[in-house]
Structure 1
């Protein structure tokens, strides 16, 4: 169903792919937008329990698109260093495909707490807990990953030996 990566020597291991998803702080969600146009939107996320989670307003283009068609892709760029003398970049990236859904109950609380923790820095626990318990204006969306690949520049592959 999903294509194999053409340059398989540059394929990241699943462990390295998960590490990239875990350390990045933003990515791009792509879905089927209005009138068949692709809709790609940058957002903050957390990778937790093998899923990607993000928050969203309860109304808008993103929710409308996901409701119409839950099939999405999500990509992150971990590194992208310009190498001007070679007219290229040294990069590391991940792309995931899956189905998006609104989460409820314990899954919502756990994933929202993970989002707050990831983006709250050194804020006091009391403030974090207040944010989690007081936010009723947002959905938490999960992407149940069906296929995922990571890729890096051949220069990174060669440097590993």
Structure 2
């Protein structure tokens, strides 16, 4: 169902992919957009238990795309160092494919928001609780259940490892 990577020497192990997903703070979500155009949007997220979570408004282009087609992809770039004298880029990235759904239960939404807050505001527990209570009713939380994950790095980085 999912393609194997052509340059198999540059494939990252699953543990390294998960490490990258845990460390990175932004990724790009791609959904089926209006008039069958792909729609890709950068966003903050958190990875947990083979799932990606993000939050946003209850209406908009990305939610319309998810409602139209639950299949999405999400990409994170960990490293992107241009090396002009070598005419190349030393890169490392991860892409996931999965099915997205908007969380409905208040409890599921609360848990996801707490996990997001733990990543982005780990030392503000008191403020986190207040912020969650304030925004819970008017915030959409999306969960992507990962069906396939792959990571790749430049051949130069592969040779350095």
**Normalising to structure 1: TM-score of the pair?**
0.95
Deviation, structure 1 residue 133: 2.1
Aligned length: 159
- Report whether the alignment pairs 1:73 with 2:73: yes
- Structure 1 residues 1-161: aligned runs within 5 Å: 1-105=1-105, 106-123=107-124, 125-135=125-135, 136-160=137-161
> Is 32-41 or 127-136 further displaced after alignment?
127-136
Deviation, structure 1 residue 153: 1.0
> Is 32-41 or 131-140 further displaced after alignment?
131-140
Q: What secondary structure, in the 3-state scheme, does the structure 2 residue paired with 1:39 have?
A: strand
List 4+ stretches of structure 1 deviating above 6 A.
none
CA RMSD of aligned residues (A): 1.0
Whether the aligned pair in 2 keeps the contact of 1:100 and 1:143 (CA below 8 Å) is: yes
Could you tell me which runs of 5 or more consecutive residues in structure 2 were left unpaired when the two chains were aligned.
Answer: none
Could you tell me which runs of 5 or more consecutive residues in structure 1 were left unpaired when the two chains were aligned.
Answer: none
